[in-house]
């Protein structure tokens, strides 16, 4: 086994080596200013230029039109579970939710604090091993929006671009763990949000892409830091923003662009995932119970015969430089997160270890 260490964590996740190297060279002297980007004023021209460039890069990569605004917020995607209903609820204070796992469970709980979350489709009866049939979904006549999560890091499932439901309601998507991994049509959504620490950089900044008409829904009686309309009016600088996190996001977006954009990321991701799933499916030791069409490209979940052996496998893998393969504490098992920045060599290294482990039992 090679000595190289590979990071399979679901987040904070692997970063491109080129990005880390670039950060290292600029850490003490950003844009010739003689100081770190972590030290510059967020009111300075270089910082404002950084935010503007980062927004422009994201718009280009995702195809975000001028009908949408881009916000750089704080609090992680988890805070958006509360921000979405607080901003988008109308008089009905009601929204429809597609329930596909742990993260939608938490989002539903937050929405129920502010109004009513109606579950219109759920994978719970199937143990969240597949995405519910969204073609049969009946939305509420009086709902303010419909909510889904495009990738479930814990359960290992995903709602792929071709599975996005067509609805007259504003569609809200938590894309935290698969944004930029495949080409989604932004025009299908009213609002998209994503924490950066999985596929876009480091923790500290959360990207919100919101259709401009929905900004008008933000009421004045919610916390300023959660208010989309107010954050937009202040160019995401209501308070001191997470400048370093946006700087890293900027570098990652440039890396995606230089490597063929989102279309090429999708090609690479499908190749990596297919390689790993194919090995698992043809193994007598490892098992994945997810419906083939609903398998995540980002988070590959699998199990060994029992929990004790799952633990032993993860520990042995760590000794061989394969880090953070232990599954989420709520479901156990093994989880290999292979985000955009994970090279195919990382998948190949895992498969080689899996072969040796199986042969040595």
Catalytic positions are: 103, 174, 198
Outline where 89-132 has alpha helix (H).
102-114
3-state secondary structure at position 53 = helix
- In whole angstroms, give the CA distance from residue 52 to residue 163: 32
Angle at 232 between CA 77 and CA 19, to 5 degrees: 55
Cβ-contact 305, 334 below 8 angstroms: no
Listing from the earlier edge strand, what are the strands of the sheet with 146-149? 68-73, 206-211, 191-195, 171-174, 146-149, 94-99, 116-122
177 phi and psi angles, rounded to 5 deg: -105, 5
> With b meaning 16 or more CB within 10 Å and e meaning fewer, what string describes 129-153?
bbbbebeeeebeeebbbbbbbbbbb
């Amino acid at each position: 086994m090679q000595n190289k260490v590979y990071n399979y964590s679901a987040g904070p996740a692997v970063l491109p080596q080129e990005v880390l190297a670039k950060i290292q060279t600029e850490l003490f002297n950003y844009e010739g200013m003689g100081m770190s980007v972590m030290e510059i004023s967020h009111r300075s021209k270089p910082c404002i230029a950084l935010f503007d460039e980062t927004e422009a890069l994201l718009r280009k990569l995702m195809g975000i039109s001028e009908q949408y605004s881009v916000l750089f917020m704080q609090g992680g995607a988890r805070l958006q579970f509360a921000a979405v209903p607080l901003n988008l609820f109308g008089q009905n204070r009601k929204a429809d939710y597609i329930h596909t796992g742990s993260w939608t469970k938490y989002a539903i709980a937050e929405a129920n604090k502010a109004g009513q979350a109606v579950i219109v489709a759920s994978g719970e009866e199937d143990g969240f091993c597949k995405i519910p049939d969204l073609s049969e979904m009946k939305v509420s006549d009086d709902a303010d929006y419909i909510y889904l999560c495009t990738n479930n890091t814990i359960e290992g499932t995903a709602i792929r671009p071709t599975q996005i439901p067509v609805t007259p309601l504003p569609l809200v998507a938590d894309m935290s763990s698969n944004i930029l991994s495949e080409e989604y049509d932004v025009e299908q959504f009213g609002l998209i949000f994503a924490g950066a620490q999985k596929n876009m950089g480091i923790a500290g900044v959360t990207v919100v892409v919101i259709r401009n008409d929905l900004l008008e829904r933000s009421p004045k009686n919610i916390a300023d830091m959660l208010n989309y309309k107010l954050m937009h009016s202040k160019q995401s600088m209501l308070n001191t923003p997470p400048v370093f996190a946006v700087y890293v996001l900027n570098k990652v977006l440039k890396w995606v662009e230089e490597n063929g954009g989102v279309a090429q990321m999708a090609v690479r991701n499908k190749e990596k995932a297919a390689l790993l799933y194919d090995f698992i499916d043809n193994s007598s030791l490892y098992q994945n119970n997810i419906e083939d069409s609903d398998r995540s490209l980002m988070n590959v979940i699998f199990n060994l015969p029992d929990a004790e052996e799952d633990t032993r496998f993860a520990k042995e893998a760590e000794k061989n430089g394969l880090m953070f393969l232990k599954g989420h504490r709520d479901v156990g098992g093994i989880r290999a997160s292979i985000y955009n920045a994970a090279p195919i060599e990382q998948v190949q290294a895992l498969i080689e270890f899996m072969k040796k482990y199986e042969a040595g039992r």
